[in-house]
Structure 1
Amino acid sequence: MQSLLAQGEYNPYYGSFIDKAESNNIIEGLQLGKKKFIDFVNAIPKEKLTYAYEDGKWTIAEVIQHIIDTERIFSYRALRFARKDQEPLIGFDQDAYVPNSNANTYSAEELIEDFEAVRNSSITLYKRFTTDMLTQIGEASGSPMSTRAAGYILSGHQNHHVEVIKERYL
């Protein structure tokens, strides 16, 4: 997917996420990813939700909440960029968010409900972006990012963490 974006539309750190996006079409990718992710979470044994593969690592529930939190933040960034807001956006400390998320107190159904609400909002947001809005570039975490790069990152970030859960947790 990186080949779909111009140089300078994203920090190279996000390249691996962009390459894991579900589709060349951002909206289609978010829709496909939504169904796949809900099916994936539903298949996780309930007793595994609070499992961490090593001391100090996140539990599966915390990883899921991290995906949700990140989608909220990146959708907000995309909105700001699409609206030509030139105010630089600071980063966020994912490691500070997780222990304050209470993720381990939520059922799979509650996590899915939250994910579905956020993903539906992201899909609606991207449906309303024009071609011009998708190519707008803002600054987040000290680096440039386009609206469309944020959309590919949303999809690929989710897929990245599904791979991690499959490899290390299940």
Structure 2
Amino acid sequence: MLSSDLSASEYNPYYHNYILAVGEVELLEELKNGKVVFTALMAEVPKSKLDYAYADGKWTLAEVLMHIIDAERIFQYRALRFGRNDKAPLAGFDQDVYVPESNALKKSKEELLNEYESVRNATVSLFSSFDDDALKRVGMASDSNMSAGAMGFIICGHQAHHLNIIRERYL
């Protein structure tokens, strides 16, 4: 599936910039490429930077990394439900509640990287299992129609968005 195969009716407008962030790409290729980009960035991150926040009240770098992992898990779960034609509406999630409970600052750089790789490998496996019909199936999350395929591109764009912030403000 290409990002251009999505219609605006397959996702909440809030996520439009995430989808634009990845450009015209094939979903599985971008999920795999995103893993390479993330792990390369992690190689550049000094351990001493994990507890750095660029301003008062902002997340630390470790918390941003854990947020990327948590959000991917949630989007992946939504994609599974929609891809399997589950029509039960799914609630949203409050990232600001998740982050303090993530114990990100107690995790080493290696633990964060291992957790990310496990989650991304599961994401690639899940999306590899979807055929075109499953990718187009729509469910409801956070009071908006969302397709399984859109969830995949949102995962990619969400990560790209945060990696840009990391490069600009944390490293």
- The residue number in structure 2 matching 1:92 is 93
Letter paired with 1:125:
L
Superposition pairs of residues 134-149 of structure 1, within 5 angstroms: 134-149=135-150
Identity over the aligned pairs, expressed in percent? 52
Partner secondary structure for residue 104 of structure 1: helix
Q: 2:90·2:141 contact (CA, 8 Å) conserved in 1?
A: yes
TM-score by length of 2: 0.96
- The residue number in structure 2 matching 1:152 is 153
For residue 22 of structure 1, report the CA deviation from its aligned partner.
Answer: 6.8
- The residue number in structure 1 matching 2:57 is 56
Distance of 1:36 and 1:167 partners within structure 2: 15
TM-score by length of 1: 0.96
Letter paired with 2:169:
R
Distance of 1:3 and 1:128 partners within structure 2: 20
Describe the superposition over 1:110-139 as per-residue Cα deviations: whole angstroms up to 9, x where unpaired.
100000000000000000001000000000
Partner secondary structure for residue 8 of structure 1: helix
Equivalent pairs, count: 170
For residue 88 of structure 1, report the CA deviation from its aligned partner.
Answer: 0.4
Change (3 A) 1:22 1:45: farther
- The residue number in structure 2 matching 1:113 is 114
Change (3 A) 1:61 1:160: same
Moved over 6 A (4+): none
- The residue number in structure 1 matching 2:132 is 131
For residue 42 of structure 1, report the CA deviation from its aligned partner.
Answer: 1.5
- Name structure 1 gaps, 5 residues minimum: none
- The residue number in structure 2 matching 1:166 is 167
- The residue number in structure 2 matching 1:43 is 44
Letter paired with 1:105:
K
- The residue number in structure 2 matching 1:82 is 83
Structure with more helix by fraction: 2
Q: 2:53·2:59 contact (CA, 8 Å) conserved in 1?
A: yes
- Name structure 2 gaps, 5 residues minimum: none
Partner secondary structure for residue 51 of structure 1: coil
Letter paired with 1:6:
S
Partner secondary structure for residue 57 of structure 2: coil
